[in-house]
Chain A
Amino acid sequence: MKRAALALAWCTLSGCATTAQNQRARLADPMMSVTDDHLETYRKQKLYTTREGAAGGDGVPAGGGCGCQ
């Protein structure tokens, strides 16, 4: 728990230092996208949420749109 709090504090505090636009070349690389592309996201959701009773929370509703959730 203490380690998690420290990690969170580190993330939050280091986030206070802004990164200028001309320093974001690495972040603009497609490999650095924090989310998968839309079609890959759907593929993974379909695979996992229809086989595990714990869906939702990734920006999409749990259930609905499919008779098997």
Chain B
Amino acid sequence: MLHRNAFWRTAFALAIAIVPKIAGAETRFSDAEVLGTPPAPFRIVSVKTRTTAIVQTGRGYQSIAGAVSGQPGSQNLTVLQPQIEVVAKQGERLTHTVWAPVDIVTSASATAIDRRRTPVDVISTASAINESAALDWTTDYKVDADTNVFVRAGLHLEEPYRSWTFGLGGSKSFAGGNTAVSASAIQMLDWLDRFQITGTRIGRASRTSSNVNLSLVQILSPVTVAHLSYGLTIQEGELGNTWNRVPLLTGNWDSELLPSQRVRHALVGRVAQWLPWNGALKGYYRFYHDDWGIDAHTAELQLHQRIGRALTFRGSYRHHRQSGASFFTIHGLAEARLRTADSDLDLLSSNAVGGHLSLRYPWPAWREVEFEVGYERYFRSNDLEANVVTCSVGFQF
């Protein structure tokens, strides 16, 4: 009996000694295991690049290149446009988006006409190459699950031209994320060299552009979402490039004369509808009005179709129609207070047809890789057409 009691006493003592150690070993979690891994102080979320090449042909009355008296000049040009965008998160609330587009245009630059004292055109065949680059930084702060605010700053550099941008805005979602409203205000200041159409530099000019935007995104159903936005832009200062010419009734040319203010309104509506065969249909409509006499209607349809798991085809068609500026003319008067022969400000309609193929694929080293190639053909009623090839590569980490 005594022997049996000693056995149980020893077993109990061993259990007391061992069990807490085992239990302790199981419950000893690190802080990271209990609280989760702390977010990296700074991490890159995505990097995306896009390169676009545009070859344009056409003729316009604002161009002197190759023009004989009373006839439009050449608007031929080639554009190479690489862009890069890097998105990074700093902590839990801050997101930085750094974007840098570059434009290389094989048209004459203002530098070219400044060097040559003969009348040459800066939009087409004076054979200079004009490079421009911009850097744009947007920082988004997540106030709470439904509210974001952002600030944006940018700088644009071009041979005869500088531009500074500053903006701020915010967005707020309601009704469990079914509705989101956002507002932004952007201020731009442009500083440019002023030229005569004969190519002589005659000092400097500036312009300001003040812009406010309001937008609403509304989920209409589990397969439909709509977007409505309104933008107001007020521009003041030198609103032309200063080297456009206007043919006069007399057979001579003189410089373009534009108002020093322009108030522009644009109302945009978009709808995206999911299609049962793993596709999506998107509609876009835009109405534009300004106080130079231009009213414009733009409509676009995009059809997205997934092919297999990773491949998506996007076909698009866009139509644009606008009235001309009230002072547009190709037979200007020497004593006119306002005049332009810029074909962009003429009564016109344009069409664009395009197709894009994109491949999204999970990659072992990254969360996703996306490749896209696309082609678009743009043609305008007043003798202008462009062929556009674009490709992009994006990485999500």
Contact = CB atoms under 8 A, between A and B. Distances in A.
Contacts of B312: 31
Would you call the interface of chain B mostly helix, strand, loop, or mixed? Answer: strand
Interface in B359-373: 360
Contact of B386 (A18, A23, A51, A57): A51
Interface in B191-234: 192, 207, 209-211, 213, 215, 217-227, 229-231, 233
Contacts of B345: 53
Contacts of A6: none
Contacts of A14: 220-221, 224
Contacts of B156: 65-66
B106 interface: no
Would you call the interface of chain A mostly helix, strand, loop, or mixed? Answer: loop
B350 A15 contact: no
B221 A32 contact: no
A18 B229 contact: no
B218 to A, nearest CB: 5
Contacts of A65: 134, 154, 156, 163, 165, 188, 190
Contact of B207 (A25, A34, A50, A64): A64
B177 interface: yes
B225 A54 contact: no
B131 interface: no
Contacts of A67: 158, 160-161, 190, 192, 241
A58 B266 contact: yes
A47 B350 contact: no
A30 B271 CA distance: 14
B188 A64 contact: yes
A3 to B, nearest CB: 14
A39 B233 CA distance: 22
Interface stretch (B20-28, B37-45, B288-296, B329-337): B288-296
Contacts of A19: 178, 219, 221-222
Interface string A57-69: 1111111111110
A57 B97 CA distance: 21
B54 interface: yes
Contacts of B239: 63
Most chain A C-beta atoms within 10 Å of own C-beta, residue among B154, B217, B218: B218
A29 B305 CA distance: 12
A38 B270 CA distance: 16
A32 B280 contact: yes
A54 to B, nearest CB: 4
A53 B382 CA distance: 13
B178 A63 contact: no
Nearest to A54: B296
Nearest to B345: A53
Given A18-B178, A21-B177, A67-B160, A31 B279 contact: yes
Interface of B: 48-50, 52, 54, 81, 83, 85, 97, 99, 101, 103, 132, 134, 154, 156, 158, 160-161, 163, 165, 175-179, 184, 186, 188-190, 192, 207, 209-211, 213, 215, 217-227, 229-231, 233, 235, 239, 241, 262, 264-268, 270-272, 274, 279-280, 282, 286, 288, 290, 292, 294, 296, 298, 304, 306, 312, 318, 320, 322, 325, 342, 344-345, 348, 350, 352, 360, 376, 378, 380, 384, 386, 388, 390, 392
Interface of A: 11, 14-15, 17-21, 23-27, 29-35, 37-40, 42-43, 46-48, 50-68
11 contacts: A15-B218, A19-B222, A27-B223, A32-B280, A38-B99, A48-B378, A54-B298, A57-B213, A57-B267, A59-B184, A60-B186
